[in-house]
Amino acid sequence: MKFFNLQKINARYASELKKVAEEVIDSGWYLQGDRVAAFEKSLAEYVGCRYAVTVGNGLDALRLILKAYIEMGIMAEGDEIIVPANTFIASVLAITDNRLVPVFAEPDENTFNLDFSHIESLITPRTRAIMIVHLYGRSCWGAGLVELARKYNLKIIEDNAQAMGALGKVEDLGDSVHTGALGDAAGISFYPTKNLGALGDSGAITTDDDRLAEIVRSLGNYGSGKKYYNEYQGLNSRMDEIQAAFLSVKLKYLDEMNACRNRLADMYSEAIDIPDVILPQAGGKGEHVWHQYVIRTTCRNALQSYLQNEGIATQIHYPVPPHKQNCYREYNSLVFPITEKLSREVLSLPISPEMSESDIDRVSGVINRFFK
């Protein structure tokens, strides 16, 4: 069994995808055109924010948000950004690429997400933002976070690479809001395996901040708003028309696919019944879109090999936390016990909308057998 059968997933939409691909090919217009504009509009509507600006990929989305805040004078080289220690390295690369300083925070081992009660002690006069990561598809939000941000005048930046479609409860609104519309700005990844995945690299920024949106758009277009006039020292980071067309097709089915993932997750949580395995928690209604279904066990490596021998592919998200990577030697001596424990214990099981109940039974059965 494949870890993720993207071929089968996209086969559902194949005729629509082929149709829009033909239209784009015939149109003669491949960048910054109507399809990108239409997708940005639908995306902003779906997320529930005023602006969506498409870019080249998820890492660029985060980089450009920070770069724009620097242009706006809201942060400057050497300022600190609080970020979970247990994230995909891209969250941290976005920070260091801007010569900002990542201040790592430990997660809550039950949610895998930031533990807000640990954050206040990390705040210094140079802290400018908290980057939350909705890891594995579970939204990371709460009154504790909002209070801290208000109290210390910090921006909340969402790394929304993994949680398109998830909801966060906004206590003072008594309301549920989509990830991407919770903080001050959010970066989305449409890497092909994401819940909303393109057929190549792309990403987007969502925000209500008109100035931020305008600057980010310019920064991704060589720093230019008006052709051949450059206000900023920008980069090239744009979504192709063909990817926007693909994403417009797939966005229509996102909620349906997420509901599917939810059912599969429920089945796993029913079927795996082993004291040595810690199952992931769903959170409140709509809070989890199950980008990954991640179990924990102290015999992770042995279990992974066992599953592999049974023909079941699994993945580890992620085996080495950013602060332990060779590229961050300056942080290698830091110690984050929860993060490091998680990196040794987590195992992502196959979960993708095209899986059947019997697939889930099969995987669960092998896991239960391993521990017997």
Ligand X SMILES: Cc1ncc(COP(=O)(O)O)c(/C=N/[C@@H]2[C@@H](O)[C@@H](OP(=O)(O)OP(=O)(O)OC[C@H]3O[C@@H](n4cc(C)c(=O)[nH]c4=O)C[C@@H]3O)O[C@H](C)[C@H]2O)c1O
Binding to a second copy in span 73-102, by CB under 8 A: 89-90, 93, 96-97
Show the binding pattern over residues 182-201: x = contacts a second copy (CB under 8 A), - = does not: ---------xx-----xxxx
Structure tokens at 179: 């990830």
Binding residues for a second copy restricted to 221-240, rule: CB under 8 A:
222-224, 228-238, 240
State the nearest-atom distance from the C-beta of 64 to a second copy, in Å.
12
Closest separation in Å from C-beta 338 to ligand X: 18
CB nearer to a second copy: pick between 144 and 192: 192
Pick one of ligand X, a second copy, none as the site partner of residue 235 (Cβ within 5 to 8 A by kind): a second copy
Q: What is the 3-state secondary structure (H, E, C) of the chain?
A: CCCCCHHHHHHCCHHHHHHHHHHHHHHCCCECCHHHHHHHHHHHHHHCCCEEEEECCHHHHHHHHHHHHHHCCCCCCCCEEEEECCCCHHHHHHHHHCCCEEEEECECCCCCCECHHHCHHHCCCCEEEEEEECHHHECCCCHHHHHHHHHHCCEEEEECCCCCCCEEEEHHHCEEEECCCCCCEEEEECCCCCCCCCCCCCEEEEECCHHHHHHHHHHCECCECCCCCECCCCCECCCEHHHHHHHHHHHCCHHHHHHHHHHHHHHHHHHCCCCCCECCCCCCCCCECCCCEEEECCCHHHHHHHHHHCCCCCECCCCCCHHHCHHHHHHCCCCCHHHHHHHHHEEEECCCCCCCHHHHHHHHHHHHHHHC
Q: Which of the ranges 149-157, 161-169, 260-268, 322-330 carries the binding residues for a second copy, by CB under 8 A?
A: 322-330
Which residue number, 33 or 144, has a Cβ lying nearer to ligand X?
33
Cβ pair 107, 113 in contact under 8 A:
yes
Q: Residue 129, Cβ neighbours under 10 Å: how many? A: 25
User: What minimum distance in Å lies between the beta carbon of 125 and ligand X?
Assistant: 27
- How many beta carbons lie within 10 A of that of residue 360, not counting itself? 23
Q: Taking the complex as a whole, how short is the minimal distance between the CB of residue 275 and ligand X, in angstroms?
A: 28
Which residue from 37, 72, 302, 327 is in contact with a second copy, where contact means CB under 8 A?
327
Alpha-carbon distance of 222 to 219, in angstroms, equals 6
Residue type, 198: A
Question: Least Å distance between CB 51 and a second copy?
Answer: 21
Window of 15-23, 271-279, 283-291, 300-308 that interacts with a second copy by CB under 8 A: 15-23
Instruction: Choose from a second copy, ligand X, none: what does 14 bind? Cβ within 5-8 Å by kind.
Output: a second copy
| 172 touching a second copy, by CB under 8 A | no
Q: Closest-CB residue for ligand X?
A: 58
Residues binding a second copy: number (CB under 8 A): 64
Q: Which is nearer to a second copy, 243 or 364 (CB)?
A: 243
Pick the closer one to a second copy by CB: 233 or 356: 233
Return the closest-CA partner of residue 220 out of 84, 81, 59: 59
What does 142 interact with, of ligand X, a second copy, none (CB < 5 to 8 A by kind)?
none
Instruction: Tell me whether residue 20 or residue 133 sits nearer to ligand X (CB atom).
Output: 133
Per-residue binding string, a second copy, 52-71, x by CB under 8 A, is ----xxxxx--x--------
- Does position 308 interact with a second copy (CB under 8 A)? The reply is no
Q: Which is nearer to a second copy, 92 or 154 (CB)?
A: 92
Q: Which of 345, 193, 312 is nearest to 261 (CA)?
A: 193
Show the tokens assigned to 254. Answer: 């996102």
Contacted entry of ligand X, a second copy, none for residue 184, CB cut-off 5 to 8 Å set by kind? none
Output the smallest distance, CB 277 to a second copy, in A. 22
User: Where along the sequence are the contacts to a second copy (CB under 8 A)?
Assistant: 5-11, 14, 17-18, 21-22, 24-31, 56-60, 63, 89-90, 93, 96-97, 191-192, 198-201, 222-224, 228-238, 240-243, 316, 318-320, 322, 325-328
